[in-house]
Amino acid sequence: MTRQFRFAVQSFSASSASEWCQRARRVEALGYSALHLADHILGPGEAIAATNHPIQELAAVPAMAAAAAATDTLRIGCRVFCVDYRHPAVLAKELATLDLLSEGRLEIGLGAGWLRGEYEALGMKFDPAKVRIDRLGEVVDFLKAHFAGGDLDQSGDYVNVRGYSGVPAPVQKPHPPLMIGGGSRRILSLAGRVADIVSFNFNNRAGIIGPDGISNSTEEKTLEKLAWVREAAGDRFEGLEFEIGAYFVVVGEGSGAAAAGMAKAFGLTLEEMRRHPHGLFGTSDEICEELERRREKFGISYITVPDTAIEAFAPIVSKLTGS
């Protein structure tokens, strides 16, 4: 099965309501499928500086609601909600409300949490990966039950909710599409079993952004990740959509120098950097050709680019969307 291309933008900040809404409308006008946020809390300071993570100024839920209100067809999402930051019942109600008020334009990205320094700065316990991923699995079960609208009665190691029915009902049935991703076998196996969209990402086992995550996300490593998903998904595999964040995007002039510089910084060859699944370098035509090659090799058809690339990447969106 050939999966059709679609594209999203991920954004972290805006200086005003008008800027944010204008950005959402521009993303929609250029043909992108969705506008994503992330789910991080820390502002400037030593805690976030130690993680190498960009600062996210906007809270995900209200920013998603504002983007939906400012647009007509643009889907709204988060790459990804950290399930440890909200009680699952609160998260479920917020998500169902977003789907209702956006008239069915919500995509639900979910993650187990990974940014150790953020947990520590917030005074939260950073459990071992197995515990965080098992907890995510229970949250997914609960969200699906909440969206189904029946009586809720879930008792587990991490989610214990009972005695009421979930409202409001989401517009999308049986529920808004669920995206789960990461870079480890455990999280990608969970995604293969329960998600609608599988997001290939770094293995953030180090708890910070750094060379380790980039070096374990090369072509060879991504093929291994795909095999984990295939094994876990079984008969579901052909119906899954595969997404990836293109974190390093340089279109046109300067793309060769940028690829060479990043290759040196990350300890990769220039060819490894040019073919790195999280990077896109070259002219519009070269990037289109590379994306088609990657779709053939990995099945990845859903590409998320940073907001700094909205305009430069637009010709690629125009050419490939829906093909």
What beta strand segments (E) does 43-149 contain? 75-78, 81-82, 108-111
* Whether the Cβ atoms of residue 271 and residue 254 lie closer than 8 Å to each other: no
Residue range 20-36: mean pLDDT, rounded? 98
Model confidence band, residue 52 (pLDDT cutoffs 50, 70, 90): confident
- As a whole number, the mean pLDDT across the chain is 95
Q: Is residue 125 packed enough to be buried (19+ CB in 10 Å), middle (13-18) or exposed (0-12)? A: exposed
d(CA 137, CA 193): 10
Q: pLDDT tens digits for 127-140? A: 999 999 999 999 99
Cα–Cα distance list, 171 to 13, 50, 120, 149, 253 (Å): 28, 41, 37, 12, 44
Two tokens at 95? 């998500």
Which residues have a Cβ under 8 Å from the Cβ of 68 and sit 6 or more positions away? Answer: 74, 76, 98, 101, 102, 105
Q: Is the pLDDT score of 222 beyond 70? A: yes
pLDDT at 215 over 80: no
pLDDT value, residue 204:
62
> Is the pLDDT assigned to residue 16 strictly greater than 80?
yes
Which pLDDT tens digit goes with each residue over 69-84? 999 999 999 999 999 9
Supply the pLDDT for residue 262.
Answer: 92
The average pLDDT across 234-261 equals 96
Answer yes or no: is pLDDT of 202 > 90.
Answer: no
* Dist. CA 245–CA 164, nearest whole Å: 38
Q: What's the average model confidence in pLDDT over 165-176?
A: 97
Q: What pLDDT is attached to residue 208?
A: 53
Residue 2's pLDDT is what?
Answer: 80
Query: Residue 213: enclosing H or E segment and its boundaries?
Result: helix 211-215
Q: What's the confidence (pLDDT) of residue 197?
A: 98
**The CATH number fitting domain 6-243, selected from 3.30.390.30, 3.40.1390.10, 3.20.20.30, 2.40.110.10:** 3.20.20.30
pTM score above 0.75: yes
Query: What integer pLDDT is reported at residue 184 of this predicted model?
Result: 92
Give the pLDDT of residue 51: 87
- Is residue 211 scored above 70 in pLDDT? no
Q: Which of 134, 144, 138 is nearest to 156 (CA)?
A: 138
Nearest-angstrom CA–CA distance, 264 and 291: 23
pLDDT category at 206 given cuts 50, 70, 90 is low
Instruction: Return the pLDDT at 203.
Output: 72
Q: Is residue 308 predicted with pLDDT exceeding 60?
A: yes
- Give the tens place of pLDDT for each residue, 283-297: 999 999 999 999 999
Of the two residues 7 and 182, the one the predictor is more confident about is 7
Per-residue pLDDT averaged across 22-34, rounded?
Answer: 98
What is the structure's pLDDT at 151?
A: 95
Q: Confidence band (pLDDT; 50, 70, 90) for 141? A: very high
